[in-house]
Amino acid sequence: MTHPDQPVRVIALMNQKGGVGKTTTAVNLAAGIAELGRKVLLVDMDPQAHATLHVGADQQDGPTVYDLLLDPSIGLDACVRRVDDRLGIVAAETDLAAAEHELAAMSDRNQRLARAIHASARDDEFVLIDCPPGLGVLTLNALAAAQEVIIPMQAHFLALQGVGKLLETVRLVRDQVNPELRVAGVVLCMHDSQTSHSKAVVDDLAAFFEAQRDTGLPWAHARVYRPAVRRNIKLAECPSFGQTIFQYAPWAPGAVDYRELAASVVAEWDRAVRGLGSIRGGRDALSEAEIRVLRGQREPIE
């Protein structure tokens, strides 16, 4: 986005397994950040269009992300529908599934979304991208556009094994497509903190990330985000009303958890932005992790 004095945090929410809370997290984290007074854009890259349905957006009401990817002349701004004053969405549609085939022969097929975001005159401070499960052209577009990946997952043994494959996917994309990409961390969804199995998985995950601190890998600064999002029926109900959890049940446990999670994401961003201001003023140095978070200010893609 073309605002040199305002850094933009672009986050892809990714998990190759369906049903783990990825779309729920994308929508409600975006809404939670907007509730804090920040401007947020949610991009639905999943042909199932669940994020679009979740916020009650009409798939037929103007261009969608499918049009954006296939016809760069349309531009990002024309595709945004308002959810509220601070939250917008670029909707998906079922035709998006055909984009994998239609983009296959195009040399810039993985960079379409990144170019659209960089060319936009919008002033969103956060861009959250809901990725489809699996690693195809749509997910690669999201990862090419993002600075960071957040992995929503459940604290189950098999899910823990899947995280290793996800991290390797991010490493490959960083090496071949987007050298700025890093893993910000994991969000625990549908969480039951009372079971010993969940506690063991969370402990293993936290210990793994701690052991990676000086490796230089894309997940060297990753963490387990707190709080974990508790299992809550209201989170399952609100999409059927086309509402976020904050509209549907603002003080349900799920709303409380996503509100705190949003505050944590915003707080770490504010700390990074303050560090950038210090560098510009010739004062304190910015840490390597904070520099990476701000690389949305890199030069537009040629």
Q: Is residue 4 included in any domain, yes or no?
A: no
What residue type is 208 in one-letter code? F
Domain with residue 17: its CATH number is 3.40.50.300
In a domain, residue 112? The reply is: yes
Q: What is the domain count for the chain?
A: 1
What 3 state SS string does the chain have?
CCCCCCCCEEEEECCCCCCCCHHHHHHHHHHHHHHCCCCEEEEECCCCCHHHHHCCCCCCCCCCHHHHHHCCCCCCHHHEEECCCCEEEECCCHHHHHHHHHCCCCCCCCCHHHHHHHHCCCCCCEEEEECCCCCCHHHHHHHHHCCEEEEEECCCHHHHHHHHHHHHHHHHHHHHCCCCCEEEEEEECCECCCCHHHHHHHHHHHHHHHHCCCCCCCCCCCEECCCCCECCHHHHHHHHHCCCHHHHCCCCHHHHHHHHHHHHHHHHHHHHHHHHHHHHCCCCCCCHHHHHHCHHHCCCCC
Check residue 3 and give its pLDDT: 53
- 10 Å CB burial of residue 58 (0-12, 13-18, 19+) is exposed
Q: What does pLDDT average to in each consecutive run of 10 residues of the chain (302 residues)? A: 71 87 96 96 96 91 93 92 95 90 88 93 93 90 96 79 87 92 93 75 86 91 91 94 96 95 94 64 43 43 42
Which of 6, 1, 105 lies closest to 43 in space, CA to CA? Answer: 1
Residue 243 lies in a domain: yes
Tokens of 191: 């969480």
Is 33 part of any domain?
yes
Question: Is 245 among the domain residues?
Answer: yes
Interatomic CA distance for residues 252 and 270, integer angstroms: 27
Domain that holds residue 121: 9-297
Separation between Cα atoms, residue 143 and residue 19, nearest integer Å: 20
What is the spatial distance between Cα 153 and Cα 21, in angstroms, rounded to a whole number? 7
Backbone angles phi, psi at 70, to 5 degrees: -85, -25
Looking at the domain assignment, is residue 1 inside a domain?
no
Q: Is residue 251 part of a domain?
A: yes
**Residue 2 covered by a domain:** no
Q: What residue type is assigned to position 10 of the chain?
A: V
pTM of the model: 0.88
β-bridge partners, 169: none
**Would you state the pLDDT for residue 2?**
54
Bridge partners, residue 129, by sequence: 12, 43
